[in-house]
Amino acid sequence: MADDAPPGGFDRAAWFYEPLARIYSLGKIEAAKASQLGLMNPGDRVLYVGVGAGEDAVLAARVGADLTCIDLSGRMLARARTKFERAGLRGEFIRGDVFEHDRIGHYDVVAANFFLNCFERGPMRRMLRHLSGLVRPGGRLLIADVAAPSGNRLQRQLHRGYNGVGLALYWAMGLVPLHPIHDYRRYFGEAGLRCIRVRDFRVLPFGPVSFQAIEAQRLADPEG
Ligand SMILES: C[S@@+](CC[C@H](N)C(=O)[O-])C[C@H]1O[C@@H](n2cnc3c(N)ncnc32)[C@H](O)[C@@H]1O
């Protein structure tokens, strides 16, 4: 991507994005992302889309995976790269739009963490199909993100309130559009994905499920 691309909200937020997420979620966002590490093996080709400041990608590189990291934000990407350099780890860093990344079927694992939430429903569905196409048949698409509402009425209301505050905060900082909480699994069929496992993360032990880590398998023959 050209160096003169307009800086977005994520450029401005790069220095505090991960600490803010840690405080907001009492560490559960970080935990949801870290829960994916057991699904990666040394030598796996792993792509982190919208890698941000890369706290999860650097852990994957420690596992011995062959990492590619993409982000539109130069400052986010610079922070991710610095983490790799400090840890003495290697990775490929691409500043650009994930929609333009065209290594179809190349990756064993694609990790999309708190990334699909940057899009309204239509573009999110297109991105989900695109990400699925980047995974080799049988490989994994991993999504750590805000959970779709679940549980009893009170839990759903608490979930909507908590995530509404989060979304409004991120929207006010110019990071994401306002949109309802996505239920990614509803769109797995059209993207040629099968849900393998979902791990739930609660901010408080008896509170609603706030975040989820979804493991999906890329099917050999996607619909449409
Ligand atoms: C909400 S942040 C999440 C960052 C990181 N994955 C995490 O979990 O901390 C979303 C990231 O996606 C990047 N992003 C948004 N749209 C993008 C696109 N079309 N192509 C590449 N990166 C994009 C933003 O710059 C931002 O760094």
The pair phi, psi for residue 170, each rounded to 5°, is -65, -40
pLDDT in tens, 124-141: 999 999 999 999 999 999
pLDDT in tens, 154-175: 999 999 999 989 989 889 888 9
Which pLDDT does position 174 carry in this prediction?
A: 87
Return the half-sphere exposure (C-beta side, CA atoms, 13 A cut-off) of residue 120: 5
Ligand 1 midpoint to CA 196 (Å): 24
Distance 88 CA to ligand 1 centre (A): 24
CA of 8 to the centre of ligand 1 (A): 11
Tell which phi-psi region holds residue 63, choosing left (phi > 0), alpha (psi between -120 and 50) or beta: alpha
User: How much of the chain, in percent, has pLDDT values that exceed 70?
Assistant: 95
Query: Which pair of structure tokens corresponds to residue 114?
Result: 């708190």
**Residue with CA at minimum distance from ligand 1 atom 18:** 97
* pLDDT tens digits, 77-118: 999 999 999 999 999 999 999 999 999 999 999 999 999 999
Q: Which residue of 55, 115, 182, 201 sits with most ligand 1 atoms within 8 Å of its CB, as the best mutation to test the pocket? A: 115
pLDDT for position 8: 78
Of 49-63, 101-115, 171-185, the least confident: 171-185
Half-sphere exposure of 58 toward its Cβ, with a 13 Å CA cutoff?
18
75 pLDDT higher than 70? yes
Span 197-220, pLDDT tens digits: 999 999 999 899 999 999 999 998
- The DSSP bridge partners found for residue 46 are 67, 109
CA of 98 to the centre of ligand 1 (A): 9
Model pLDDT, residue 1: 38
Residue matched to tokens 């050999």? 220
71 Cα nearest atom in ligand 1? 22
Q: What's residue 29's pLDDT?
A: 98
58 lines ligand 1 (CB under 6 A): no
107-112/45-49 β-pairing = parallel
pLDDT band at residue 7 using 50, 70 and 90 as cut-offs = very low
Cβ-in-10-Å burial (0-12, 13-18, 19+) of 86 comes to exposed
CA–centroid distance, residue 38 to ligand 1 (Å) = 23
Sequence-ordered list of residues with C-beta below 8 angstroms from that of 221, at least 6 positions apart, any chain: 137, 192
Instruction: Give the chain's domains with CATH numbers.
Output: 9-218 (3.40.50.150)
Mean pLDDT in the chain? 93
Q: What is the pLDDT of residue 221?
A: 66
**pLDDT confidence of residue 188:** 98
Cα–Cα distance for residue pair 120/144, rounded to 1 Å: 17
For residues 8-45, one letter each, b for 16 or more C-beta atoms within 10 angstroms of the residue's C-beta and e for the rest, the string is bbbbebbeebbebbeebbeebbbbbbbbbeebbeeebb
Give the integer Cα–Cα distance in Å for 207 and 224: 39
As a whole number, mean pLDDT of residues 67-80 equals: 98
Instruction: For residue 18, give the ligand 1 atom closest to its CA.
Output: 9
CB 69 within 8 A of CB 94: yes
| Residue nearest atom 9 in ligand 1 by C-alpha distance | 52
Q: Is 98 in the pocket of ligand 1 (CB under 6 A)?
A: yes
Ligand 1 pocket check for 54: Cβ under 6 Å = no
